[in-house]
Chains A and B, each alone.
Chain A
C-alpha cells in the first residue's frame, strides 16, 4: 500500500522491495487462509462443544432446573429401599418406594424405573399408615380403568405397568399434602453364574435426557397418558430428572444364603459393609452417604472351591402344577482330559459379509477380526474363508490344513476384500454348513455380518436343518448390527453371539471368543424324562457348554408318571449323563414365576418373528394371570377402599426417572451427511483461490 515506487530509491531497491511486498502479501494470504481454516475449525468445534456440554449429565441437569424453582417442590420425593434375598440360584428382590409429597396439594406420583431384563414382577403392596393393600393382577387396559376409576373417586391407588421388557412405571394417585405412601413391588430373577462366580445386578444408572430447543417449555397442560413420560419432560422441564442422588436416595441390602460356604463377596462399584451371619449366610449393605447415581449396583461372589453344586433341581407347586428350575454345572476336566481337549483339532470356516452395507469402518473391523482368527490356527487345524455379497466366494474349495503357506494365501485374500453388492447369506451358510462331519475335528463356523437381511426366518430354518454337529458363532459388526437376527442365528446354531462395536475392541473380543470356544465341555445337551420323552424347557434349546458355564432351564413337571429328568450330553467323545429327581427339600419359592417369565419371553420372541398378535397375546395373558406376573399385557393394581380425597382435584407430578443405559448393543445410526461441511470447505477454498489469483495479478502488475 505504501509507495512501492518511492522517490530516491534505486531500481534494484524497488525490485527488492517488490520481493518483500510479495512475501508480505503471501504472508497475508497465508494468514488469511489460516484464519479461514481456524474459523472453520472453530465453527465445527463450537457446534460440537454446544452438544458436548449438553452431553454432560451435571450441566444438562442444571440447565433444566433453572427458572422453575418455585414449582419444583411439588414433585414428590421417592426414597427407594431395595432388599434382596438370594437363595441358591434365585434372587427375590423387594423394591420399596416411599413417596413423600412435601407440597400443599394432592398429587399423583409417576415413577419410571428400570429392572433387570428377566425380572418376573409378581407382587405389589401399597401401605398407607398401618393399612396394607395387596395389588391384584389384571389385563393392562382393565387395570388402567380400575386405577382411573379409583382416581376419579378420590381413592388412593397404585398401578405398576411394563413399558418395555426392562422398563416399568409405578403410578400413585392422591398423595396428600406432607403425606407418605409406601409402595413395594417384588420380583424374581435367576442369577448369572459363570466360572464359579455368581453375579447380581440392580440397575441404578441415570441417563440424562435432553430437550430439543424448539419445544416450548411454557406450554400448559399435562398429558393424560402416564406413558408419555418424555412428553411430560418436554412440557414441564422442572420435572426433568435431577442427577443428584440426594433427592431420591437408594438403600440396598442383600442377604446371600448360598446353602454352601461362601468364598469371596465383592461389590463391583460401591462401598459396602459385608457381615457374616449365623447359618453361613452373609449380609451386604451399602455404606451410607455415598454418591451412587451413575452406575448400577453389582455384587459378585463365589463359593468355596469344590463346594459348588454340580447339579441342582428346585421345584415349586403353584395352583396344582409343579415347576422346576434346573442347573447343571459340567464337571471341570481333569488334567489328563484337559491335555486331550487341548489337542482337539478344529476345522473353522470363517464367513464374512462383504455386501454394500458393510462398506467403510465395518469391513475394516471384519478384516482385522478375520486376520486375528487366522493368527490363532495351529498346524493341525483346518480352515477356510468365505465371503458373500450378491454372490458367494470361498477361498478354498474345501477346508485345508492351516499350513504357513495356506495362511499366507488367506491373509492376502482377506486384505484384498472389498464391500459391495447385495446380501445373499443363504448360499454362504449352505456352503459352510455342508452337513459333513470331519472325523477328529471340532467343526465351527464363525459368521461375521451386520445382519442386514429380510429373510430371517428362512435363514433360521436353513441353520437348524443343516447344522449337524457343526456349531455356528455369530459376530456382529458395525454401529448398529441386527442383534436380534444374530442372537437368534447363534441360538439355532447352538453357539454364541459376540458384538464388536469398535476396531479397538477387535482383539479383546476375538481373544475372549476363541479362548472360550477352543473346546466345549459338553455337547449335544438333551433333557428327557426318565421314560425317554423330551422335556419342554425354556429356553427351548440348550447350547453347548464351554468351560465354567452352567445349564439353567425352567420346565413344567406337570406329569405324575415320571418326575425324573435325565440330562445327557457328550463330554469329549464320551457320553455323559446325570439324572435329577426332585426331593422333599428341593422346594424353592419363585420357581413357578421364573418358569412363567421364561415362557412369556419365548412367546414375545415368537411375536417378533411370526407375529400372530391376538393368539400370542391370549397365551401371554393366560400365563401372566395364572402366575400373577406383570407383562406387556398385564399390570398390577392396588386400590384403597376408603376415599381420602373427595374433591378429586389432582396434580400430576413426575418423579426422577432412573432410565437405563442402552441395553442393546451398538448405537443409533449416524444420519448427517457431509454436504454442509463440504459446501463450507468448498466455498472457503474458492475464496482462497480468489485471493491467490489476485495475489498473482498483483505480482504481475508489480513486475510489469
Chain B
C-alpha cells in the first residue's frame, strides 16, 4: 500500500520532470529548427520576390537577415515582436522604422536562444541588416547599456539611422520575466 504510493509519487515526479526537461529542450529545438525553415522561405522570397510563410499555419514571416560577421551569427528577423514570433527568431518591433529604412530599427530576441550572442558582442562590432528590398545596411555598435523595461524611449523614433537590438538581462537569470533589458545601439555606417 505505502510502497505503491511511494512508487506512484516517484512515477508522477519522473513524468513531471521528464515533461519539464522535454519542454525546455523543445524551446531550444523550436528556436533552431524555425531558423532553418525560415532560411528556406527567405531564399525563395529573395529569388522569387514573394515572402512565403515559412511553414503551413505560421503567423509570421521573415523580413530581414541579421548578420554579425565577428561572431559568425546569421539570424532571420521576423515581423511583429509577439511572444509567439520570438520563439522562432528575433523579431522586429512594429511601429519602429522598418529594416532598410531610415530611423531607429528595433529588433528584440530571447536572451537564452537567438540573442544569447549579444552578451559577448564587442563595443565596436559590425552588424549587417539585409532586407528583401534594399541593399544590406551596415551598422557599427555605438553603445551597450542596460535599462529598465519601462524605458521605452530606447524604441523611440530617432533622427539618425540606428539599429537597436534588445534582449532581457541578466543573461543567466533562471526565471523569465526579469525587469532589466540589455540594449545594443548601432549606428549606420554604410
* Residues in A lying within 8 Å of B, measured CB to CB: 22, 26, 43-44, 47-48, 50-52, 54-55, 162-165, 167, 207, 209-215, 225, 227-231, 233-234, 355-360, 390, 420-423, 450-454, 480-485, 604, 607-608, 611, 613, 632-633, 659-693, 695-696, 699-700, 703
Indicate if the CB atoms of B13 and A228 lie closer than 8 Å. no
A675–B95 CA distance with the chains assembled, in angstroms: 29
**B150 and A212 form a contact (CB under 8 A):** no
Q: Is B19 positioned at the interface, with any CB of A under 8 Å from its CB?
A: yes
Determine whether the beta carbon of B146 is less than 8 Å from that of A211.
yes
Contact with A along B153-190 (1 / 0, CB 8 A): 11111110000001111101111111111100100000
Among the listed A54, A167, A450, A682, which residue makes an inter-chain contact with B18, where contact means beta carbons less than 8 Å apart? A682
How many contacts A-B (CB < 8 Å)?
285
- A48, B175: Cβ atoms under 8 Å? yes
Q: B20, A231: Cβ atoms under 8 Å?
A: no
CB closest chain-B residue, reference A358: B82
A671 in contact with B174 (CB, 8 Å) = no
* Residues B156 and A164 in contact, CB atoms below 8 Å apart: yes
Does residue B148 face the partner (Cβ distance < 8 Å to A)? yes
A675 touches B28 (CB 8 A): yes
The minimal Cβ–Cβ distance linking A421 to chain B, given in whole angstroms, is 6
Chain B positions 67-88 with a Cβ under 8 Å from a chain A Cβ: 79-87
Top-3 shortest CB links A-B: A682-B20, A685-B17, A357-B82
**When A210-B145, A675-B28, A678-B20 are in contact, do A356 and B59 touch as well, CB less than 8 Å?**
yes
> Restricting to B37-82, which residues have a CB under 8 Å from any CB of A?
59, 63, 79-82
- Can you list 30 A-B contacts (CB < 8 A)? A44-B174, A50-B170, A51-B173, A55-B148, A209-B146, A211-B145, A231-B143, A234-B145, A482-B95, A485-B95, A611-B101, A613-B102, A659-B153, A660-B153, A664-B153, A667-B149, A668-B151, A669-B86, A674-B176, A675-B113, A676-B112, A680-B174, A682-B21, A683-B17, A686-B13, A686-B14, A689-B13, A695-B10, A696-B3, A699-B3
A661 / chain B contacts, CB cutoff of 8 Å: 150-151
Indicate the size class of the contact surface on chain B.
35 or more
In the complex, residue of chain A having the shortest beta-carbon distance to the beta carbon of B13 = A689
Within the complex, the shortest CB–CB distance from A123 to chain B, in Å, comes to 21
**Given the complex, which residues of A lie within 8 Å of B84, measured CB to CB?**
356-357, 359
Contact call A675/B27, Cβ cutoff below 8 A: yes
In the bound complex, residues from chain B placing their C-beta under 8 Å from that of A659 are 153
Please judge, given known A-B contacts A164-B158, A480-B81, A664-B153, whether A692 and B27 are in contact too, CB under 8 Å. Answer: no
Contact between B103 and A607, CB atoms less than 8 A apart: yes
Bound Cα distance A229, B144 (Å): 11
Say whether B59 contacts A696, CB under 8 Å. Answer: no
Query: What is the minimal beta-carbon distance from A323 to any residue of chain B, in angstroms?
Result: 25
**Interface pair B94/A228, CB less than 8 Å apart:** no
Seed contacts A47-B174, A48-B178, A659-B153; 18 additional CB < 8 Å A-B pairs: A50-B170, A228-B143, A229-B143, A357-B84, A359-B82, A390-B59, A421-B59, A452-B94, A454-B94, A608-B157, A613-B102, A662-B150, A668-B149, A670-B83, A675-B24, A677-B174, A692-B13, A699-B6
Residues of chain A with a CB closer than 8 A to B93's CB: 480, 669
Which chain B residues (118-165) contact chain A, with CB distance < 8 Å?
119-120, 123, 142-159
* Least CB distance, A325 to chain B, in whole angstroms: 26
A207 touches B95 (CB 8 A): no
Is there contact, CB below 8 Å, between A164 and B153?
A: yes
Residue of A26, A422, A484, A664 with most chain B CB atoms under a 10 A cut-off: A664
In the bound complex, do residue A664 and residue B180 qualify as a contact, i.e. CB atoms below 8 Å apart? Answer: no
B85 & A357 in contact (Cβ 8 Å cutoff): yes
Task: Check A51 against B20 for contact (C-beta < 8 Å).
Answer: no
CA–CA, A181 and B86, complex, Å: 50
Cβ contacts under 8 Å, B182 to chain A: 212
Among A230, A422, A696, point to the contact of B145 (Cβ < 8 A). A230
Report whether B94 and A667 are in contact in the complex, using a CB–CB cutoff of 8 Å. no
Q: Which residues of B contact A26 (CB under 8 A)?
A: 6
Residues of chain B in range 87-108 having any CB-CB distance to chain A below 8 Å? 87, 93-95, 97, 101-103, 108
Q: Which of B19, B20, B79, B154 has the most CB of A within 10 A?
A: B20
**Closest chain B CB from A503 CB (angstroms):** 16
CB contacts (< 8 Å) of B172 on chain A: these are 47, 676
Which residues in B have their C-beta under 8 angstroms from that of A700? 3
Q: Is there a chain A Cβ closer than 8 Å to B16's Cβ?
A: yes
Quick check: B150 and A667 within 8 Å, CB to CB? yes
The one of A52, A167, A672, A693 in contact with B168, judged by C-beta atoms closer than 8 angstroms, is A672
- Output the least CB separation between B91 and chain A (Å): 8
* A210 & B146 in contact (Cβ 8 Å cutoff): yes
Choose one: A632, A663, A671; the contact of B153 (CB below 8 Å): A663
Contacting pair B16 A685 (CB below 8 A) = yes
B169 touches A212 (CB 8 A): yes
Residue of B nearest to A389 (CB): B59
> In the complex, which residues of chain A have a beta carbon less than 8 angstroms from the beta carbon of B33?
none
For residue A682, which residues in chain B have a CB less than 8 angstroms away from its CB? 16-24
* CB closest chain-A residue, reference B146: A210
Across the interface, B155 reaches (CB within 8 A) one of A357, A453, A668, namely A668
**Distance in Å: Cβ of A531 to nearest Cβ of chain B:** 38
- For A666, list chain B residues within 8 Å (CB): 152
Q: How far is the CB of A47 from chain B (nearest CB, A)?
A: 5
Is there a chain A Cβ closer than 8 Å to B7's Cβ?
yes
Cross-chain contact of A675 among B85, B108, B112 (Cβ < 8 A): B112
Query: Which residue in chain A gives the minimum CB-CB distance to B82?
Result: A357
Cross-chain contact A632 with B159 (CB below 8 angstroms): yes
Given A47-B170, A212-B169, A451-B95: A673 in contact with B87 (beta carbons within 8 A): yes
CA distance A8 to B154 in the complex (A): 78
> Which residues of chain B have C-beta atoms less than 8 A from A668's C-beta?
108, 147, 149-152, 154-155, 166, 181
What residues of A have a CB within 8 angstroms of the CB of B159 in the complex?
Answer: 162-164, 632-633
B27 pairs with A674, CB closer than 8 A: yes
Using CB atoms, name the residue of chain A closest to B159.
A632
In the bound complex, residues from chain A placing their C-beta under 8 Å from that of B2 are: 22, 699
Who on chain B is nearest to A616 by CB? B102
Residues of A within 8 A of B167 (CB): 671
CB-CB < 8 A to B115: which residues of A?
671
CA distance A420 to B151 in the complex (A): 29
| With A670-B168, A692-B6, A699-B3 as contacts: A663 and B156 at CB distance below 8 Å | yes
| Selected contact of B79 from candidates A167, A234, A454, CB within 8 Å | A454
Give every chain A residue within 8 A of B28 (Cβ-Cβ).
675
Question: Contact at B180–A54, with CB atoms within 8 Å?
Answer: yes
Are B176 and A688 in contact (CB-based, < 8 A)? no
Of A164, A207, A231, A676, the contact of B148 (CB 8 Å cutoff): A207
Most B C-beta atoms less than 10 A away, residue of A50, A213, A356: A356
- Shortest CB distance A663–B (Å): 6
- Closest A residue by C-beta to B90: A671
Q: Which residue of chain B is the closest to A216 with respect to CB atoms?
A: B123
Least Cβ distance of B50 to chain A in Å?
14
Query: B20 to nearest A CB, angstroms?
Result: 3
Question: How many angstroms between the C-alpha atoms of A689 and B180 in the bound complex?
Answer: 35
- Determine which of A225, A357, A677 lies in contact with B80 in the assembled complex, contact meaning CB atoms within 8 Å: A357
Contacts of A680 in B (CB 8 A): 174
Chain A residue at smallest Cβ distance from B100: A611
Q: Across the interface, do B142 and A672 meet the contact criterion of CB distance under 8 Å?
A: no
Chain A residues contacting B17 (CB-CB under 8 Å) are 681-689
